[in-house]
Amino acid sequence: SSEVTQDPAVSVALGQTVRITCQGDSLRSYYASWYQQKPGQAPVLVSYGKHNRPSGIPDRFSGSSSGDTAFLTITGTQAEDEADYYCNCRDKTGDLLVFGGGTKLTVL
């Protein structure tokens, strides 16, 4: 299966905008989904598809993509957004699923 890669760590000042990236060949064909995971908790879906957000997820979270890269943008980052963020998508065959290695977001 193909891989998708993420930066291990990103930091952002409180109230600022941050963009977390996910890169891989299969992202040219498929959309990424994004998950927020806080310590000791299960991941939570925050963005999926072209520009979709599950109910209950604040609108400061938005997903997008360009070429082989997907982006999760958090606008007006809050302290409670500090967490690990994972992307996932289908692999090139479409039948298998892959996760990125995760990005630890620190809010300064």
Choice between 16 and 51, CB closer to another protein = 51
Least separation in angstroms between residue 37's CB and another protein is 8
SS3 80: helix
Strands 69-74 and 61-66: antiparallel
What is the chain's length?
Answer: 108
Interface ranges with another protein (CB under 8 A): 1, 29-33, 35, 37, 42-45, 48-49, 54, 86, 88-90, 95-102
Choice between 13 and 97, CB closer to another protein = 97
Output the DSSP codes for 9-34: EEEE-TTS-EEEEEE-GGGGTS--EE
Choice between 5 and 17, CB closer to another protein = 5
